[in-house]
Amino acid sequence: MAHPGEQFYPEGVHWDDPIARGTLPDLLSKAAGDYGARPALEFRDRPISYAELEAMVEVAAAAFLRAGYGKNASVALFLGNSPDHPVNFFGALKAGARVVHLSPLDGERALSHKLSDSGARILVTSDLSALLPMALKFLEKGLLDRLIVCEDDNWGAVGNPHTSIPDDPAIVTFKKFTAGATNPARWPNVAVDDVALLQYTGGTTGLPKGAMLTHGNLTSAVSIYDVWGKPARAGRNNAIDRVICVLPLFHIFALTVILLRSLERGDLISLHQRFDVEAVMRDIEVKRATAFPGVPTMWIAIASLPDLDKRDMSSLAYCGSGGAPLPVEVARIFERKTNMKLKSGWGMTETCSPGTGHPPEGPEKPGSIGLMLPGIEMDVVALDDSKKILPPGEVGEIRIKGPNVTTGYWNRPQETADTFVGDRFLTGDIGYMDQDGYFYLVDRKKDMIISGGFNVYPQMIEQAMYEHPAVHEVIVIGIPDDYRGEAAKAFVKLRTGATPFTLEELKAFLAGKLGKHEIPAALEFVDELPRTSVGKLSRHELRNQQPAQPRQVQLASGGRG
């Protein structure tokens, strides 16, 4: 079959169904026209209608234009989850600018690089103490000309720590920045192929690089999800969804899967500033949320609730995991306690999120990331020859092609060239496709451990370790080893009340589940494991935290460290 897995697509969905492309300002304008008074966002129990949202966006856009940040300008956003994000995101785009997302959880070095690399000389932030002090550093370093500060309490005071706004001509509150701004006689022309977003990614071997995501990339991503989910939505009589958004909007997963997709469809986004498991459960049980896209760490927290089997999850029509591989054991526990299936798809920053997904009906494939979505072509190529396509079952690097795939990296022509083979993007993910067209991730190419000449994939070890009843979370990395070159070391956060186990006990538990070359040679217990800005466990950050080691394996005794 030309498009593997198409036989399992939802009824009426075909791989070659038309994928729509447009611009993001048009997406919002159409939604405002179609849904008007319907609530688009709910934040701190306050609803904001589609018409209100577009009106706020137009004010922001007019202010950006008046200040000279229109066509060919980069506007940086350093914001958490509040309505300030969509207002300024769409406002900058309507003014013709491109957006640069900055993660509040990044360090000063990475953020400074993103600002200087993107050319953004204006930054929109908040007066929250988690944000403003860092933004002020950028101004002091000469990286900015203008700093726009949104006042968090404008959305209702909740006692968040704030930092006072300094008296500086380069700093202005959002309220003053937008005061008196009027719409132009004609809005700037925004083209489908214009870069809408510089979304920084990578950095595992150096500084982050900006994936250039066009309006066409992002709108086609929304369309791909629409085509895929249309039958399920029709089966629910096109009900309006209440979508929980605890994922940070500066991350591509939340931006596409929640913000853009929900607005295009007329749904309500229930916006949370942070992940709190009981707040999410209240949204489900009391406010009857119907959709919750999360990352594995969120599902680990929910699956670990001691009374989950007694909680009312009946309102949820959709729950899914993305952003990182979902441990099979976590999905099993969740299904056993709730009788709901939790499946994970795959995508990446460079694909605006879409890549693979699971059909509602189809063969059970534990550990699979699903089938390639409509309009997307994926294959697997040899690790030593990116033009050699491998047959089903053979492990190699996954390639992808589609209207949602980035045009390349900002100011990085060589890295762009190195990442494409013709029109196919090399993902850096190692995996395979089975005979049915289902894809499986084995690991990231850069995370692979070569132990005694064998390829060892940390994710496979982690999956096996999640079956251990004492393991709450685990990250496996490679450490130097005189004999094998590299060996696997497991860092474990225990479940509450669980007793530490020894390395020998772990080896006995994993015997038969893993090959001898895959079993960890070292073990360490930790109170917390590092996370990325979206809450994913971070193997890269854990590596950075490790002290320089001699060329030998330190065998842990099993005590807390």
Asked which of 216-225, 255-264, 508-517, 542-551 is least confident by mean pLDDT, the reply is 542-551
* Residue 555 pLDDT: 31
346 and 414 belong to one structural domain: yes
Distance of CA 435 to the CA centre of its chain: 29
Q: When comparing pLDDT for 51 and 104, which is higher?
A: 51
- Quick one: average pLDDT of 528-552? 76
Q: When comparing pLDDT for 331 and 24, which is higher?
A: 24
Domains in the chain, number: 3
90/182 Cα distance (integer angstroms)? 16
Q: Which residues contact 118 (CB under 8 A, 6 or more apart)?
A: 74, 76, 100, 198, 210, 410
Does pLDDT of 503 surpass 50?
yes
Does pLDDT of 204 surpass 50?
no
Residue at which a domain ends, from 190, 206, 226: 190
Which pLDDT band holds residue 202 (cuts at 50, 70, 90)? low
456 and 437 belong to one structural domain: no
Does pLDDT of 285 surpass 60?
yes
Residue 413 lies in a domain: yes
Asked which of 124-128, 191-195, 436-440, 557-561 is least confident by mean pLDDT, the reply is 557-561
Backbone angles phi, psi at 186, to 5 degrees: -150, 130
- Quick one: average pLDDT of 440-464? 79
Residue 513 lies in a domain: yes
Asked which of 169-183, 262-276, 354-368, 539-553 is least confident by mean pLDDT, the reply is 539-553
Which pLDDT band holds residue 558 (cuts at 50, 70, 90)? very low
Does pLDDT of 514 surpass 90?
no
Ranges 106-115, 232-241, 284-293, 443-452, most confident: 284-293
* Residue 177 pLDDT: 98
Q: When comparing pLDDT for 51 and 331, which is higher?
A: 51
157 and 128 belong to one structural domain: yes
Percent of the chain past pLDDT 90, that is, above it, reads: 75
92 and 111 belong to one structural domain: yes
Residue 31 lies in a domain: no
Residue 261 lies in a domain: yes
Which pLDDT band holds residue 561 (cuts at 50, 70, 90)? very low
Does pLDDT of 206 surpass 60?
no
37/317 Cα distance (integer angstroms)? 24
Burial 496-522 (b: 16+ CB within 10 A, else e): eeeeebebeebeebbeeebeeebbbbb
Which residue, among 73, 94, 62, 64, has the nearest Cα to 184 in the 3D structure?
62
Does pLDDT of 1 surpass 60?
no
Asked which of 146-150, 154-158, 167-171, 385-389 is least confident by mean pLDDT, the reply is 154-158
Q: What is the pLDDT of residues 151-173, one digit of tens each?
A: 999 999 888 999 999 999 999 99
Ranges 199-213, 279-293, 546-560, most confident: 279-293
Q: What is the pLDDT of residues 398-430, one digit of tens each?
A: 999 999 999 999 999 999 999 999 999 999 899
Query: Domain of 233: which CATH number?
Result: 3.40.50.12780
* Residue 295 pLDDT: 84
Which pLDDT band holds residue 550 (cuts at 50, 70, 90)? very low
66 and 81 belong to one structural domain: yes
- Quick one: average pLDDT of 267-278? 96
370 and 502 belong to one structural domain: no
Query: Domain of 472: which CATH number?
Result: 3.30.300.30
- Mean pLDDT of all residues belonging to the chain: 91
Burial 107-118 (b: 16+ CB within 10 A, else e): eeebbbbbbebb
- Quick one: average pLDDT of 471-488? 86
Residue at which a domain ends, from 190, 205, 238: 190
Residue 120 lies in a domain: yes
Which pLDDT band holds residue 452 (cuts at 50, 70, 90)? low
341 and 275 belong to one structural domain: yes
Which pLDDT band holds residue 455 (cuts at 50, 70, 90)? low
Residue 505 lies in a domain: yes
359 and 457 belong to one structural domain: no
Query: Domain of 72: which CATH number?
Result: 3.40.50.980
For residue 86 the two structure tokens come to 């969509």
Domain that holds residue 234: 6-19+214-444
pTM exceeds 0.95 for this model: no
DSSP state letters, 376-413: -EEEEEETTEEEEEPPTT--EEEEEESTTS---BTT-H
Residue 439 lies in a domain: yes
Which pLDDT band holds residue 483 (cuts at 50, 70, 90)? low
* Residue 124 pLDDT: 98
Phi-psi region of 179 (alpha: psi -120 to 50; beta: other; left: phi over 0): beta
Residue at which a domain ends, from 425, 444, 463: 444
Q: When comparing pLDDT for 180 and 560, which is higher?
A: 180
Which pLDDT band holds residue 203 (cuts at 50, 70, 90)? very low
Percent of the chain past pLDDT 70, that is, above it, reads: 95
**Measuring CA to CA, how many Å separate 229 from each of 11, 27, 207, 313, 551?**
11, 18, 37, 21, 51
193/215 Cα distance (integer angstroms)? 6
Bridge partners, 268 (sequence order):
242
247 and 348 belong to one structural domain: yes
407 and 477 belong to one structural domain: no
Does pLDDT of 205 surpass 80?
no
487 and 361 belong to one structural domain: no
229 and 125 belong to one structural domain: no
Residue 34 lies in a domain: no
**Measuring CA to CA, how many Å separate 255 from each of 199, 217, 261?**
11, 13, 8
DSSP state letters, 462-509: HHHHTTSTTEEEEEEEEEEETTTEEEEEEEEEEPTTPPP--HHHHHHH
* Residue 557 pLDDT: 25
* Residue 314 pLDDT: 94
